[in-house]
Amino acid sequence: MSAKDIFHNIVKVALEKDGWKITHDPLFFKLSEQIRIKIDLGAQKLISAEKDEQKIAVEVKSFIGVSAISEFHTAVGQFLNYRVALEQKDSERVLYLAISQDIYQEFFIDSFIQSVLERYEIKLFVFHVQKQEIVLWKN
């Protein structure tokens, strides 16, 4: 079993504070005999004005390794694969990459990183580690 990211529980609390109900921890899919994936969290939220539920999947990344760009390459590849898996198995769910406010401000605001996020339509949410709160949804 793969280890949870160091920010996993912080993101879980932040989602709950924002009104999300955690439905899966992790969100598991068997795509074939050889391929199984685990996305960190599945959550849903009732949107009262529409009387409808919004469903998301969240992959948490800490970016605490030696090379932020190397971790970014891995995160982007994982995100794209997970999005294809969701299209096949749970198409109502929208995938988000959860990152800390610190890494967002230090690395993700770079113009190259922003262009990659735009090109591949990577949705982010940014959380404050100490407050355990979501500070930005970026679609």
Q: What is the pLDDT of residue 100?
A: 97
What is the C-alpha to C-alpha distance for residues 59 and 99, in angstroms, rounded to an integer?
9
Q: What is the pLDDT of residue 80?
A: 97
What is the C-alpha to C-alpha distance for residues 41 and 97, in angstroms, rounded to an integer?
11
Query: Which whole number is the average pLDDT over 14-38?
Result: 95
Please check the confidence at residue 1 and state whether its pLDDT lies above 50.
no
CATH class of 8-138: alpha beta
What is the pTM for the complete model shown? Answer: 0.92
Domain boundaries, the chain: 8-138
| pLDDT tens digits for range 39-73 | 999 999 977 665 678 999 999 999 988 899 999 99
